[in-house]
Chains A and B, each alone.
Chain A
Amino acid sequence: MCSTPKAEDKGLPLLEIEELRIEFGTFEGVSHVLDGVSLSLERRGTLGLVGETGCGKSITAKAILRLLPEPPAKIVSGSIRFQGEDLLRKGKQDMRKVRGRKIAMVFQDPMTFLNPVFTIEQQLVDVIVAHDEGRQGGRPVSRKEAREKAVALLRDVRIPQPEERIRAYPHEFSGGMRQRVLIAMALSGSPDLLIADEPTTALDVTIQAQILKLTRDLVRERELSVLLISHDLGVVASVCRQIAVMYAGTVVENCSTKQLFRNPIHPYTQGLLSSILTFSTRKARPEGIKGAIPDLIHPPAGCRFHPRCPKAHELCRREKPEAVQIEKGHWVRCHLHSGLSKNG
């Protein structure tokens, strides 16, 4: 039961996750953090993964790069296909070649990812040289060339006066600048896919706007595909053309940005949209969604959202819904709509 858009529709997708299931061993029991996550991202596509705390979006991102410590995490089933190959079947050496060079990741807090005792130049050059190792053919890059490339990268991420600023230490940069440096580092291996996990959550609003614009520009200039993870639908909407909404370990709705806001189908998506405090107009006080995120050690049977769903019925308590295509490119996991035909 493939829940992703068929491969023939758009050419082979860059990234395709199918029914990924991951468990975590904890003191109190086994936590079923991911319960069948499926999504796909095409070349030069931008996909936003949206959800609240505990929904599993960060875990999904880390799973792609196999960054989860494998105990206590355990990948139970499913596949993560990148450019046709299943990343879950790759060995450590092969994964290292993928990380940074094919897929790069940017995290939330730039300060903890930059070594405070080395200059930006040293760190960038190290990364560039490291990515160059294992490159087939030609002579390895010299440190001088790497430095030039580093300066060029800083220019690409719009850091002013990169030739001078490259010699600075991380603490001399502001938060927004550091995030740009991290993005530069991520781009140094010329990856095809950039995963950004809450990249702007720690930044001020005006700086966030700059970084989001930079992301949009980079997507255009470098033919980059982006997987953007955020709890903020506004952030995701400003960068991504596709959105996947996650709840308690599953993707409950997967569609284009326009479809999501114009025609949200899943009750969780609807609840989420209606509980956002929108800035643009002051409408009536939003409701919020009743209840709380379920305990993933003892998750609810059937559809994990049913205890909070205003439209739940008997079937929802018993069976997990399969993904169904409502309209072209718009998939939902909800029993309310499984009656509709797969062609929308």
Chain B
Amino acid sequence: MVECLIKIENLKKHFPLKKRMLGRQMGVVKALDGISFSIREGGSFGLVGESGSGKTTAARAILRLIEPTEGKILWEGRDLCTIPESEFKRFRRNMQMIFQDPHSSLNPRKTVFRSVGEPLLIHERIRGRALRERVRELLEIVGLKGEFMFRYPHELSGGQKQRVVISRALSLHPKLLILDEPTSALDVSVQAQMLAFLESLQEQFGLTYLFISHNLAVIRHTCEAVGVMYLGKIVELGSAEKVFSAPKHPYTRALVAAVPIPQADQPENAVLLEGDIPSATNIPPGCRFNTRCPEKIGAVCEEIEPWTYRVADGSEVACHLYRSADSGPSRGHPSHLNFHGK
């Protein structure tokens, strides 16, 4: 039985909407409305979704950069949400995040040396020559020579900045690395290299990855398991191969069909979603996808929120269409999904 490094249970994050600073609460933004998944140690899991899906909020909530409203984050069995903030600071070194835009994740006024050395300065209080040595080693791991140490971010290319950010994240030997759109700011010819590099790092250091992206191709190339998010919930969960080659949830199908394919023969667009993504302040009742769903059954989709059903090939789908296909006991809400990919 493969050990599970981190397990998310029914994680929620609701933001109150206030009219004025001290005014009444007008409503709630349900950015995250109960997601559950787990990642095995050394594995790669991807969260896919468009804007408003809540995937970035999920990453921040897991790191407790924002406090979850509800739910559990189980790290090797221990619930992180119960740890007080002061203790959690020390725990932070186990989970690091590579933020979305490498251009803004580095303080423009700090040299590479200061940025990469900062975690070591804070946690291990290393200074001076020792710090320089460690930073030099870290930069070597990501393939940057020593001369980069005293450069400023604006003198580096996108790919180099991304590497600096990665070396900073690695400095404290984290176990989990959350990567938020790691390649979206990079050129096509560099993207593949970056992903190969990330894979080699994973092997070298035994890292566990949580990828967050709207780019399905990137997820497909890097992750063994995938969760497709829509408006704060996971609508489909399974191995990347199965979810992408045989998508079940209508949203996943539309997402897969919408990806433009670089090839000579272009297919006729089978599924084209109408309308916009609803706002998270105004989540449609019933199944949240019902307003755009091309395979809507009827009133049941508009009134009742679907449970998560496990289908024959092991994927889990939150859709009424699969109610009868459920091969296991149906669950109230996906509170004990233990999906381990591959």
Interface residues in chain A, defined as those with a beta carbon under 8 Å from any beta carbon in chain B: 52-53, 160, 174-177, 204-210, 212-213, 231-238, 257-258, 260-262, 271-273, 275-280, 282, 285-289, 292-293
A174-B276, A209-B272, A272-B188 are known contacts. Are A278 and B217 too (CB-CB below 8 A)? Answer: yes
Residues of B within 8 A of A293 (CB): 187
Partner of A237, one of B214, B264, B269: B264
Tell whether, in the assembled complex, residue B272 and residue A213 are in contact, meaning their CB atoms are under 8 Å apart: yes
Tell whether, in the assembled complex, residue A257 and residue B195 are in contact, meaning their CB atoms are under 8 Å apart: no
Asked if B111 is at the interface (CB within 8 A of a chain A CB), the reply is no
- Render B261-276 as a binary contact track against A, CB cut-off 8 A, 1 for contact: 1111110010011111
Asked if B255 is at the interface (CB within 8 A of a chain A CB), the reply is yes
Residues of A within 8 A of B220 (CB): 277, 279, 282
Asked if B338 is at the interface (CB within 8 A of a chain A CB), the reply is no
A242–chain B nearest beta-carbon distance, Å: 13
A212 to B196, CA, bound (A): 31
Residues of B within 8 A of A258 (CB): 264-265
Residues of B within 8 A of A174 (CB): 276-277
Tell whether, in the assembled complex, residue A261 and residue B192 are in contact, meaning their CB atoms are under 8 Å apart: no
9 A-B pairs whose Cβ atoms sit less than 8 Å apart in the complex: A53-B187, A205-B216, A210-B272, A237-B262, A257-B264, A262-B264, A277-B217, A280-B261, A288-B196
A213 to B188, CA, bound (A): 24
Tell whether, in the assembled complex, residue B255 and residue A277 are in contact, meaning their CB atoms are under 8 Å apart: no
- Render B190-230 as a binary contact track against A, CB cut-off 8 A, 1 for contact: 11110110010000000000000011111011000000000
Asked if B259 is at the interface (CB within 8 A of a chain A CB), the reply is yes
A interface secondary structure, majority? helix
Residues of A within 8 A of B264 (CB): 237, 257-258, 260-262
Tell whether, in the assembled complex, residue B259 and residue A279 are in contact, meaning their CB atoms are under 8 Å apart: yes
Asked if B28 is at the interface (CB within 8 A of a chain A CB), the reply is no
Residues of B within 8 A of A272 (CB): 188-189
Residues of A within 8 A of B262 (CB): 232-234, 236-237, 261, 273, 276, 278
A277-B195, A285-B221 are known contacts. Are A206 and B50 too (CB-CB below 8 A)? Answer: yes
Tell whether, in the assembled complex, residue A176 and residue B276 are in contact, meaning their CB atoms are under 8 Å apart: yes
Asked if B51 is at the interface (CB within 8 A of a chain A CB), the reply is yes
Residue among B193, B241, B260, B262 having the largest count of chain A Cβ atoms under 10 Å: B262
Residues of A within 8 A of B260 (CB): 208-209, 212, 232, 234-235, 237-238
Closest residue of chain B to A237, judged by CB? B262
In order of increasing CB-CB distance, the 3 nearest A-B pairs are A234-B260, A209-B258, A204-B50
Closest residue of chain A to B52, judged by CB? A204
Tell whether, in the assembled complex, residue A206 and residue B51 are in contact, meaning their CB atoms are under 8 Å apart: no
Tell whether, in the assembled complex, residue A285 and residue B258 are in contact, meaning their CB atoms are under 8 Å apart: no
